[in-house]
């Protein structure tokens, strides 16, 4: 029996290997689908190995029906959510999945804690600081603190990404608030310290379930208060951080139940998410501390006092006639208007006229890391045309036309001055192109609350209106040339 159990441990090695290769493949849009599949297969292997090891243990598994029901219902719900979600709703779905991951880990740790602490055979170790007692007790508290905070924080992030919610049994839409007075930071620190104190108290009083439930309550409130003050511009950072926290919660739970693959997978997700979080912060020239504890752009927003005469699609089409290179800069406006398919149609027409077309991707464009890549991949844009900001910025000097669709702060030249909320933030160098065409509803400021000088330059042509509508009219004008 022992030999069979040891042999099954090789399954954990296979699972961990699949996780590693899967995460590696997620670094490129071209290999991301295969990487996602590797991760899914790795999780399936881990689940099967765990179930088999439990069956081989003393007493085996009781309640197979519940396990099968959980797998079946969970798989059906996951398949339905993933297959029905629109691409514009992908950030909300990712945020929700992060929350589910944290909650799953926290629930496993909580149930194990209740079982351990209510068991008649459980005896407090003497001395209490022996490792075999200390690790599971601390891991239960840590998993609860991180897991429930991830759940509530992810739910708030989801509603912020959606822009609000509908009141149950009514059709009334309520915009989700962004609320964060200065004293709230002290409350967050106080709650976090209170959670740590209760975790330490469980070491000497593991039978006190009130402490465990207290950690759960503090964690839930903490998750809400952490995300509530954060604005939409920082959402890519928040989504990455919540992803990291869900992995950390899973790793803590692995220590609770003694599951090796859970520790490995959780640690990898936690580390990958944290690295991505810092990449997002660097792309915005922001510190993680500022994202979590300071508002983006302050409480004031510039008023637009200048005017700009808008162009029409026919004028833009004439400018595009005869060019040799065009760089498309997608922004969140493209996602909101769901115009990615029309953008692909536009690019195809240019390529038929021997125009070189590429896409400049800013790391924080949209509402989650890789948001623009996902949308453009849905429209079957070739992966090799999706070029990261650092690689493509040097090409704008040789670019005839830069087409900006729904982007604002990520192309604002004021960032180069080092002044204001955007000071020092790396931007797409669209202003270096010969002609800049910007599709935007109005001249309104972006999330940073700063006016964009690029809108008013002589070489800039503004197409005011909904992204999908303007792209359709531009494509029609190109066909009529």
Question: Within this chain, do residues 368 and 410 fall inside the same structural domain, yes or no?
Answer: yes
Predicted confidence at residue 247, as pLDDT, reads: 93
Question: Within this chain, do residues 183 and 264 fall inside the same structural domain, yes or no?
Answer: yes
Question: Within this chain, do residues 325 and 440 fall inside the same structural domain, yes or no?
Answer: yes
Q: What is the mean pLDDT of residues 429-453?
A: 89
| Residue 301 falls inside a structural domain | no
| Residue 213 falls inside a structural domain | yes
Show which of 84, 117, 149 is a domain's final residue: 84
Question: Within this chain, do residues 19 and 167 fall inside the same structural domain, yes or no?
Answer: no
List beta partners, residue 440: 464
Report the Cα 325 to chain-centroid distance in Å: 32
Lowest-confidence segment of 32-41, 212-221, 420-429, 433-442 by average pLDDT: 420-429
| Residue 298 falls inside a structural domain | no
- Which structure tokens are listed for 115? 């079982």
Average pLDDT, the chain: 85
| Residue 305 falls inside a structural domain | no
Number of domains in the chain: 3
Q: What is the mean pLDDT of residues 186-195?
A: 92
Q: What is the pLDDT of residues 270-308, one digit of tens each?
A: 998 999 898 888 877 778 888 888 765 544 566 666 778
Note down the domain range covering 137: 95-293
Question: Within this chain, do residues 332 and 460 fall inside the same structural domain, yes or no?
Answer: yes
Question: Within this chain, do residues 60 and 127 fall inside the same structural domain, yes or no?
Answer: no
Distance CA 393, CA 283 (A): 14
| Residue 431 falls inside a structural domain | yes
Q: Active-site residue numbers?
A: 409
Whether the CB-CB separation of 440 and 316 falls below 8 Å is answered with no
Show which of 37, 57, 84 is a domain's final residue: 84
Whether the CB-CB separation of 447 and 231 falls below 8 Å is answered with yes
Q: What is the pLDDT of residues 208-239, one digit of tens each?
A: 788 889 999 999 999 999 888 887 667 788 88
Selection from 215, 218, 260, 275 nearest residue 24 by Cα: 275
Q: Kindly report the number of other CB atoms within 10 A of residue 54's CB atom.
A: 13
| Residue 302 falls inside a structural domain | no
CATH of the domain at 421: 3.40.50.1220
Q: What is the mean pLDDT of residues 315-319?
A: 94
Question: Within this chain, do residues 321 and 435 fall inside the same structural domain, yes or no?
Answer: yes
Distance CA 113, CA 111 (A): 5
Q: What angle do CA 167, 168, 172 make, to 5 degrees?
A: 35
Report the Cα 185 to chain-centroid distance in Å: 23
Predicted confidence at residue 127, as pLDDT, reads: 47
Q: What is the pLDDT of residues 371-424, one digit of tens each?
A: 898 889 889 999 889 999 999 999 999 999 999 999 988 999 988 887 777 778
Q: In this model, does residue 1 exceed pLDDT 70? A: no
Q: Which residues of 331-364 are buried (b: 16+ CB within 10 A; e: fewer)?
A: bbbbbbbbbbbbbbbbbebbeeeebbbbbbbbbb
> Using 50, 70 and 90 to split pLDDT, how confident is the model at 125?
very low
Whether the CB-CB separation of 306 and 442 falls below 8 Å is answered with no
């Amino acid at each position: 029996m022992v030999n069979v159990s040891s042999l099954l441990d090789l399954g954990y090695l296979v699972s961990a290997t699949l996780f590693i290769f899967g995460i590696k493949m997620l670094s490129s849009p071209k290999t991301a689908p295969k990487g996602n599949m590797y991760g899914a297969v790795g999780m399936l292997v881990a689940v099967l190995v765990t179930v088999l090891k439990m069956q081989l243990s003393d007493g085996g598994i009781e309640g197979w029906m519940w396990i099968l029901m959980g797998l079946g219902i969970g798989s059906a719900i996951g398949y339905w959510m993933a297959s029905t979600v629109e691409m514009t709703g992908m950030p909300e779905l990712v945020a929700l999945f992060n929350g589910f991951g944290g909650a799953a880990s926290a629930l496993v740790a909580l149930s194990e804690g209740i079982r351990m602490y209510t068991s008649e055979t459980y005896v407090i170790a003497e001395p209490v600081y022996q490792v075999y007692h200390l690790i599971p007790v601390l891991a239960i508290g840590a998993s609860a603190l991180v897991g429930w905070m991830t759940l509530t924080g992810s739910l708030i992030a989801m509603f912020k990404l959606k822009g609000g919610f509908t009141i149950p049994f009514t059709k009334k839409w309520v915009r989700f608030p962004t609320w964060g007075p200065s004293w709230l930071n002290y409350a967050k620190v106080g709650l976090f310290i209170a959670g740590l104190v209760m975790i330490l108290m469980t070491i000497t009083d593991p039978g006190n379930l009130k402490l465990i439930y207290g950690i759960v309550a503090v964690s839930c409130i903490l998750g809400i208060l952490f995300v509530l003050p954060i604005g939409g511009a920082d959402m890519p950072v928040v989504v990455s951080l919540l992803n990291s926290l869900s992995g950390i919660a899973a790793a803590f739970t692995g220590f609770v139940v003694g599951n090796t693959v859970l520790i490995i997978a959780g640690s990898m997700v936690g580390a990958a998410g944290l690295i991505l979080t810092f990449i997002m912060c660097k792309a915005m020239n922001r510190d993680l501390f500022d994202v979590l504890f300071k508002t983006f752009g302050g409480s004031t927003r510039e008023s637009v006092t200048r005017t700009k005469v808008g162009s029409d699609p026919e004028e833009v089409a004439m400018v595009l006639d005869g060019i040799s290179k065009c760089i498309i800069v997608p922004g969140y406006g493209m996602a909101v208007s769901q115009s990615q398919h029309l953008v692909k149609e536009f690019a195809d027409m240019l390529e038929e006229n021997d125009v070189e077309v590429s896409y400049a991707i800013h790391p924080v464009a949209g509402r989650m890391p890789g948001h623009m890549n996902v949308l453009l991949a849905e429209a079957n844009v070739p992966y090799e045309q999706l070029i990261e900001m650092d690689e493509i910025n040097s090409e704008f000097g040789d670019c005839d036309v830069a087409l900006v669709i729904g982007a604002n702060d990520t192309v604002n030249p004021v960032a180069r001055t080092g002044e204001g909320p955007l000071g020092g933030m790396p931007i797409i160098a669209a202003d270096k192109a010969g002609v800049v065409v910007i599709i935007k509803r109005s001249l309104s400021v972006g999330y940073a609350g700063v006016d964009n000088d690029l809108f008013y330059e002589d070489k800039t042509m503004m197409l005011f209106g909904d992204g999908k509508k303007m792209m359709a009219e531009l494509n029609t004008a190109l066909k009529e040339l």
